[in-house]
Amino acid sequence: MNKIVFLVFVLLSFPSIAQVINDDIAKRLVLQSNTTLTSNTTNCTVQWSCVDTKAVTGCILFHNDQWFEFTTKQAGTYYLTITNQACRDIRGVQALVIDGEACKPSTYTHLVCYSTGYQDDISLTLDSLQANHTYLVNIDGYLNDFCQFELTLRTRMPDFAVTSLPQPVETMAQAQDSLVQLQWMLPDSLRDELTGFYILRRHQSEKKSLELTRFAAVTNTFGSRQNSYTHTDTVQKEGMYTYKIIGSTSQQKNYLLKEVNIQIHPLPKAKPAPEDILTVEVPIRKKMNVQILLINASTDKLLKKAYMLTSSKNKNLIRFDIAAFRKEGIRNYKVLVQEIENPKGYSKTFFFEQ
């Protein structure tokens, strides 16, 4: 009797998920415009006679793919989105959009090949599609990852879509112990177009990027937008971090200004002198986007600027390296903490002698 009970428990604890029907290209699912389909790559297989492995070398390795198709009503631009990925591993899905006859690789033209290795929401721009024309979509689990996902063919650009620039903006990224500082300089062609920014961060062990902060572009007293910006982040563990700096316009168009990878090494034994680090605890116990200004209290000159998304769960600490300022003889500092979204909201000034 005990053996029978144990067998039932095992079967219930590890259910077998059947292949989706569109594992077979002949049974591919039809995507209707602005309608979402949910599918998964679990236990799918590859029909090797239906894929062109040489044409996508360096982008995709097939492991467990499945097939869709869609037919355009009008010529123009469409957007294929993959959202709400939930995967066994970190890697997520990879995608191909193909113009050609089903299971005839010699006729294939690959319009889009996408593969990143994580599970952020994806928006693929499909430019200059023909009217009344059928296209194939292949979705595969990156390195055999088992993923559930939502697939949508959209006629309008989604809010989360990000457009890459022909040339990334000038950016400097540096890490000191657990502090990461990002600085970027906008060309004049972008300076007046962008109305705000947001920063995404992903550690190598994480499945999706985390939004760290959003803040508005700064306009000076002459009515011109600021060219240069800085964001300081504090990380909690060593490893590789990927940061995305994204600029937004008033028309809700998002540009990827720069993607940078920063390696955080184990903290060195030799730590900076305590007097060279100014630590400020922001006394806010709720979620709020704030900017923190480090000012020379004697001259009111701005020395450094940082941004923070405060939390109710953690101590909201910001650390400024003031070693260079101390060498200049600066000992008195003023720290101004201001809410970003509401100019009449939270604002508080702290004074330090160090």
Range of lowest pLDDT (15-29, 161-175, 261-275): 261-275
Residues 23 and 153 in one domain: yes
Residues 288 and 194 in one domain: no
Tens digits of per-residue pLDDT, 157-171?
999 999 989 888 999
**d(C-alpha 126, C-alpha 97), whole Å:** 9
Range of lowest pLDDT (9-18, 53-62, 88-97, 307-316): 9-18
Q: Has residue 8 been placed in a domain?
A: no
- Under the banding of pLDDT at 50, 70 and 90, the label for residue 140 is very high
Q: In this structure, what token pair is assigned to residue 23?
A: 């594992």
The distance of Cα 343 from the centroid of its chain, to the nearest Å, equals 28
Average pLDDT, the chain: 90
Q: What is the pTM of this model?
A: 0.67
Residues 95 and 171 in one domain: no
Range of the domain at 308: 274-353
Residues 39 and 154 in one domain: yes
Residues 24 and 145 in one domain: yes
- Return the SS3 of 315: coil
The answer to whether 101 touches 77, Cβ cutoff 8 Å, is no
- CATH number of the domain that residue 260 is part of: 2.60.40.10
Q: Report the pLDDT averaged over residues 189-194.
A: 91
Tens digits of per-residue pLDDT, 207-245?
999 999 999 999 887 788 889 999 999 998 999 999 999
- Under the banding of pLDDT at 50, 70 and 90, the label for residue 17 is low
Residues 148 and 19 in one domain: yes
Residue 206 vs residue 266, higher pLDDT: 206
- Cβ neighbours of residue 255 closer than 8 Å, sequence gap 6 or more: 162, 163, 164, 165, 190, 194, 246, 247, 248, 249
